[in-house]
Amino acid sequence: MTAQWIGVIAATIWFVMFMLGHLAWVHLTGERRFALVLRNAFKLSLAGCALSITIYCGMGGGNASMLLWLTSMVIGPMIMACAFVLYIPFIFVIATSLSVETILMLDEAGGTLPRQALYDRFVSAEAVRARLEIMRGNGLFTLGEDGRYLATEKAFPPTRFFLAVKRMWNLGSGG
């Protein structure tokens, strides 16, 4: 088998295992910190891919198998990284998109809801509090003694990055 196929097959098997593991973990534990779960699951699957390639290529022996291993070790993890880059936006759109949530809410209500029901769900103080609690769980905020949310040091780098992107694209505060 060629190095390309070894890398493709190992990456495909381990990426499917990553997706199934991620979904199983979220469903079985109810974990809401997607980034932490995704990072840890991907690290494990990447290690599994590398170990599988090493075991498979080690069975051949000789100098040819070293080149086979090296090429496969570049191809397999690279394919997994590319698949990961495509998977993450998909997951976060489903998990955090207000548009998706609105459509699901309308579907559950038979296709129609009063405008106030949507305002109550998405513009309410409860919706803001729930979002801040998710961000607190991810370490971006802490809750002060006075009940106010305080940004942590972890919050500033992504804030600066997204602020720069919004300025570059001239999106303003709401876009």
> Hunting for tokens 């548009």 — which residue is that?
99
- Same domain for 140 and 55, yes or no, is no
105 shares a domain with 51: no
- pLDDT for residue 49: 96
Residue 69: give the domain boundaries: 3-96
Mean pLDDT, to the nearest integer, of 110-131? 81
In this structure, is residue 57 part of a structural domain? yes
Q: Are residues 155 and 133 in the same domain?
A: yes
Say if residue 174's pLDDT is above 70: no
Question: What is the arithmetic mean of pLDDT over 8-28?
Answer: 91
At how many degrees (to 10) do helices 34-58 and 3-29 cross?
A: 150
Percent of the chain with pLDDT over 90: 27
CA–CA distance, 126 with 144 (Å, rounded to integer): 19
Is the same domain home to 14 and 90? Answer: yes
- Regarding whether 54 and 25 lie in a shared domain, the answer is yes
- 24 or 79: whose pLDDT is higher? 79
Domain shared by 127 and 89, yes or no = no
Q: Taking residues 111-128, what's their average pLDDT?
A: 80
- Does 7 share its domain with 91? yes
Report the pLDDT value the prediction gives residue 76, as an integer from 0 to 100. 95
> Do 88 and 118 lie in a common domain?
no
Q: What is the mean pLDDT of residues 90-108?
A: 77
Helices (H), the chain: 3-29, 34-58, 62-96, 98-108, 115-122, 125-137, 156-168
Rounded to the nearest angstrom, the gap between the alpha carbon of residue 137 and the centroid of all alpha carbons in its chain is: 15
**pTM for the structure as a whole:** 0.64
Q: Are 56 and 63 in contact (CB under 8 A)?
A: no
Query: 158 and 107 in one domain?
Result: yes
Identify the three-state secondary structure at position 45: helix
Last residue of one domain, picked from the residues 96, 111, 131? 96
**Count of structural domains within the chain:** 2
b/e per residue 75-87 (b: at least 16 CB within 10 A): bbbebbeebbeeb
Last residue of a domain, one of 81, 96, 111: 96
Q: Which positions ≥6 away from 174 have C-beta within 8 Å?
A: none
- Mean pLDDT for the stretch of residues 140-162: 86
Name residues whose C-beta falls within 8 Å of residue 13's C-beta, 6 or more positions apart in sequence. 49, 52
- pLDDT tens for 78-90 read 999 999 999 988 8
Residues 103-116 pLDDT 10s: 778 888 888 888 88
pLDDT average, residue stretch 19-42: 83
Most confident of the ranges 48-52, 87-91, 93-97: 48-52
Q: Are residues 10 and 64 in the same domain?
A: yes
Note whether 73 and 147 are same-domain residues: no
Query: Does 175 reside within a domain?
Result: no
* 93: pLDDT strictly greater than 80: no
pLDDT band at 19 (very low <50, low <70, confident <90, very high): very high
Residue 130, amino acid: A
Shared domain check, 69 and 121: no
